A and B are shown apart, each in its own frame.
Chain A
Amino acid sequence: DAGVIQSPRHEVTEMGQEVTLRCKPISGHDYLFWYRQTMMRGLELLIYFNNNVPIDDSGMPEDRFSAKMPNASFSTLKIQPSEPRDSAVYFCASSPFGEGRGDTQYFGPGTRLTVL
């Protein structure tokens, strides 16, 4: 398996523009997670899906952020409008169904977003 695939790997945009980050999870995994990593705040969970359904989006910082998972093999994280404080590395991770006690997460390589 190719692992979790994220695109683009790097994104530079100007404040106010719309940004869309993409993720393809590992086939057969039931869970998909979106994280944001910054030096100041560390690794933050933004939202996670189970079988394409959003379960918990309490980590989404504000209404400018939205995430979708239209099918089992694709998810997007959208920021509209983007702001400089959104600059971070965004990771997608997927996980197989475990025994309900938390299972291994498989991370993608991340998208480094810079908002000017």
Chain B
Amino acid sequence: GDSVTQMEGPVTLSEEAFLTINCTYTATGYPSLFWYVQYPGEGLQLLLKATKADDKGSNKGFEATYRKETTSFHLEKGSVQVSDSAVYFCALGGSGGSYIPTFGRGTSLIVHP
């Protein structure tokens, strides 16, 4: 079945450091790929998405590129801020005609001033 694997956290960085959170997936067909962010005490919200191979999703300085050849969708940001501290979830959807989404376990990011 479909699955999403994320690097385990927490990831701890200093402000202005470069961020990479790795995400790889297995899926049938050609799913859409998503990154969601969850701030403390809130629900998940979409950060960015990509719907086909080689697409790059971007938002709020975060980027991720849909790499079909490596089945990856790594999240990057050039300079993190304290306000980026949150849990980040990689997800895929629509694989093989199924509407059931598949989420990774989430990666906690802690950014220190």
Do residues B43 and A43 form an inter-chain contact, with CB atoms below 8 A? Answer: no
Q: Taking A50-B99, A56-B100 as contacts, is the C-beta distance between A102 and B92 under 8 angstroms?
A: yes
Question: Scoring B residues 99 to 110 as 1 if CB is less than 8 Å from chain A, else 0, what string do you get?
Answer: 111010110000
| Shortest distance from the beta carbon of B89 to any chain A beta carbon, whole Å | 7
| Shortest distance from the beta carbon of B64 to any chain A beta carbon, whole Å | 15
Interface size class of B (residues with CB under 8 A): 20 to 34
Chain A: residues with Cβ within 8 Å of the partner, total of 25
| Shortest distance from the beta carbon of A21 to any chain B beta carbon, whole Å | 13
A contacts, CB < 8 Å to B? 4, 31, 33, 42-43, 45, 48, 50, 55-56, 91, 93, 98-110
Do residues B94 and A100 form an inter-chain contact, with CB atoms below 8 A? Answer: yes
Do residues A102 and B101 form an inter-chain contact, with CB atoms below 8 A? Answer: yes
